[in-house]
Amino acid sequence: MTEQTRESKQLLHLVFGGELESLESTEFKDTSKIDVVGIYPNYAQAHAAWKSKAQSTVDNAQMRYFVVHLHRFLDPA
């Protein structure tokens, strides 16, 4: 696969987050309050969105944002 093909291939990523029960888990306090930031066509854009949301909630230690590689679920091969 060429570099051009790799860059133009759509690899969907989901960014979401919320307040966790504790710092040692990934269980959310209230799933109805999960913040779905968005779905992005590549990791670079997802990472930028994740970083922005994570930095905006830095004062709340239990607030966490995640990037999920949706393309791995859609095409596991």
Domain boundaries, the chain: 8-28+40-74
**Rounded mean pLDDT of 6-15?**
83
Q: Which residues contact 23 (CB under 8 A, 6 or more apart)?
A: 61, 62
Q: pLDDT, tens digit, for every residue of 32-64?
A: 999 999 999 999 999 999 999 999 999 999 999
Number of helical H runs and strand E runs in the chain? 3, 3
Q: Output the pLDDT for position 15.
A: 98
Q: Is the pLDDT of residue 2 over 90?
A: no
Q: Is the pLDDT of residue 31 over 90?
A: yes
Q: What are phi and psi of 53, to 5 degrees?
A: -65, -40
Predicted TM-score (pTM) above 0.75: yes
- Sign of the CA dihedral with 33 first, then 39, 44, and 45 last: negative
Distance (Å, rounded) from C-alpha 7 to C-alpha 33?
A: 34
8-28+40-74 folds as Alpha-Beta Plaits (3.30.70)
